[in-house]
């Protein structure tokens, strides 16, 4: 049996498990990692031990760590809620389970984070898309995103159909995380030498539509660079 009682070694292992469970683009073949009950148990045990060691070092520190463990309905720690939802959707077997078993799977998906029963039910509803069908058209119609800044743009070529991520933010909405799945078109054209890291480009004009495909065609610009981003995908999910 391997026994680790050094906080920093446990912390390193904890980070490695989080990286495996909550990768930015969950690949369908690795959905089992996110849902695995054995890994979920190990993840919980590691966090419990980290809390114990912190409490031993300084009274009250363990409680702080337990507070940080809460997944929160704001979509969780570093987007873990969002990633877990996407991973569960990639598991075709999930939909065939009973509601009770889906709740159990939800706990495994979100471990080592803790959730209320209400949050677990919300998680299952979101996986099943019972929280309302999302569309790129609705996103821009219901939210003031004119002039939104582009914080991140990425595309995963490894997943069948492709996935893309667009992170934008405005004064009213600090961050809007948009996930496209079943990507049919992903095209970025650029004028100028500067990039996002030099000066964050702002959304100057766009067109969106939701039909057989979710379509986004937007032009971003900063002082030295212009970007045109075109994404066409089967589905879209977004978190504000």
Give tens-digit pLDDT for 152-192: 888 877 666 788 888 898 888 888 888 888 899 999 998 87
Q: pLDDT category, 38, cuts 50, 70, 90?
A: very high
Q: Where are the domains of the chain?
A: 7-127, 136-239
Question: Which of 19-28, 38-47, 85-94 comes out lowest in average pLDDT?
Answer: 19-28
Alpha-carbon gap, residue 225 to 197, rounded angstroms = 11
CA angle 94, 97, 48 (to 5 degrees): 70
pLDDT in the model for residue 4: 85
pTM for the predicted model, two decimal places:
0.67
Query: Does residue 183 contact residue 231 with C-beta atoms inside 8 Å?
Result: yes
Question: Which of 25-34, 54-63, 104-113, 182-191 comes out lowest in average pLDDT?
Answer: 25-34
Closest CA to 190 of 155, 225, 153, 152: 225
Closest CA to 115 of 124, 96, 229: 124
Residue 60 has pLDDT above 90, yes or no: no
Closest CA to 87 of 149, 24, 155: 24
């Amino acid at each position: 049996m391997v026994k680790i009682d050094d906080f920093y070694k446990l912390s390193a292992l904890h980070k490695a498990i989080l990286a495996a469970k909550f990768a930015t683009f969950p690949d369908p073949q690795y959905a089992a990692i996110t849902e695995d009950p054995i890994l979920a148990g190990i993840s919980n045990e590691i966090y419990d031990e980290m809390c114990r060691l912190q409490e031993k070092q300084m009274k009250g520190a363990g409680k702080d760590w337990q507070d940080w463990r809460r997944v929160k309905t704001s979509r969780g720690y570093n987007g873990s809620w969002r990633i877990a939802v996407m991973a569960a959707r990639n598991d075709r077997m999930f939909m065939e389970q009973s509601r009770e078993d889906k709740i159990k799977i939800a706990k495994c998906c979100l471990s080592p984070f803790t959730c209320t029963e209400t949050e677990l039910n919300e998680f299952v509803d979101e996986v099943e898309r019972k929280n309302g069908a999302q569309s790129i058209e609705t996103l821009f119609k219901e939210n003031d995103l004119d002039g939104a800044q582009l914080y991140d743009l990425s595309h995963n070529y490894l997943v069948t159909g492709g996935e893309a991520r667009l992170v934008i933010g405005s004064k009213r909405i600090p961050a809007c995380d948009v996930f496209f799945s079943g990507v049919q078109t992903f095209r970025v054209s650029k004028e100028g030498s500067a990039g996002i890291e030099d000066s964050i480009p702002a959304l100057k004009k766009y067109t969106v539509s939701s039909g057989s495909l979710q379509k986004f065609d937007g032009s971003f610009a900063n002082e030295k660079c212009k970007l045109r981003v075109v994404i066409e995908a089967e589905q879209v999910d977004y978190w504000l």
